[in-house]
């Protein structure tokens, strides 16, 4: 069977990565790491590379003592995506993946652009909050889906819902740091939960399913905000991976 146009844009074999990089994803982004296990074996390292890149963008503000330094870190990664040679354990395999066409430079640049909102003093309203969730977690899921062979809005919606649930889960931790990613216009948590639930798809294209599986975690998290991850959550993801249904 000939590959789809989305599949033909990406190589069948992602670049080899240092084990330390994969270990970082497993520790820093365990949900997406676990979901990537359901991707074809030859695609898993590519997904973990993408998720490692996302982790570096997410921590730009976390490790910076002030917003300006976060923007400098994001600029460093923007240059790497644009083709400037960088000496870094992630930048090297990322450059190889981009050179081979496994990921689109514009897609990764858009992820960086979306992260700039974290350097702002606040997210002022519901609309900008939703744009942030869609531009970060939503776009990340869509890029992962494209890499797997299916470019679909439903996958982006699934990722956006997961992003919203993740922000809600992280809110207490960020508050202790004096930070917040929640809108400051009085939008209630209940409204954000409702918005996330409205985005959750029942199904997505089969090829892109591993990219959307984090939505299974989101569906369960939204019913118990702040709750700890449970064994049952992973069992639900396994069931979704096997059946194609994400509404567990």
78 or 224, higher pLDDT: 78
Quick one: pLDDT at residue 18?
A: 62
Rg value, the chain, Cα: 17
Q: What pLDDT, in 10s, does the model give residues 182-230?
A: 999 999 999 999 999 999 999 999 999 999 999 999 999 999 867 788 9
CB proximity list for 229: less than 8 A, separation 6 or greater: 30, 31, 217
What CATH topology corresponds to 18-243?
Farnesyl Diphosphate Synthase (1.10.600)
Rounded Cα–Cα distance for residues 20 and 25 (Å): 9
Residues 6+ apart with CB under 8 A from 70: 60, 61, 64, 118, 119
Which run of H or E residues covers position 171?
Answer: helix 153-176
Domain assignments of the chain as residue spans, ordered by start:
18-243
In this prediction, residue 177 carries a pLDDT of 86
**Would you place residue 20 in the very low, low, confident or very high pLDDT band (cuts 50, 70, 90)?**
confident
Give the DSSP letter of residue 119.
Answer: G
């Amino acid at each position: 069977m000939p590959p789809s146009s989305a599949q033909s844009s990406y190589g069948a074999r992602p670049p080899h990565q240092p084990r330390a990089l994969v270990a970082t994803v497993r520790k820093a982004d365990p949900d997406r790491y676990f979901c990537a296990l359901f991707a074809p074996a030859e695609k898993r390292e590519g997904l973990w590379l993408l998720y490692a890149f996302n982790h570096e963008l997410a921590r730009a503000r976390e490790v910076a003592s002030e917003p300006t330094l976060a923007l400098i870190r994001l600029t460093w990664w923007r240059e790497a995506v644009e083709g400037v040679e960088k000496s870094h354990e992630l930048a090297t395999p990322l450059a190889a993946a981009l050179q081979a066409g496994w990921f689109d430079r514009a897609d990764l640049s858009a992820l960086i652009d979306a992260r700039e909102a974290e350097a702002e003093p606040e997210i002022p309203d519901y609309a900008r909050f939703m744009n942030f969730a869609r531009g970060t977690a939503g776009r990340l899921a869509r890029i992962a889906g494209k890499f797997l062979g299916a470019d679909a809005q439903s996958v982006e919606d699934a990722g956006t819902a997961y992003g919203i649930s993740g922000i809600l889960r992280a809110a207490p931790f960020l508050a202790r740091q004096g930070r917040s990613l929640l809108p400051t216009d009085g939008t209630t948590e209940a409204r954000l939960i409702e918005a996330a639930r409205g985005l959750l798809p029942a199904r997505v294209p089969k090829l892109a399913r591993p990219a959307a599986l984090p939505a299974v975690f989101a569906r369960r998290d939204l019913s118990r905000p702040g709750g700890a991850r449970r064994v049952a959550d992973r069992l639900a993801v396994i069931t979704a991976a096997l059946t194609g249904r994400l509404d567990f």
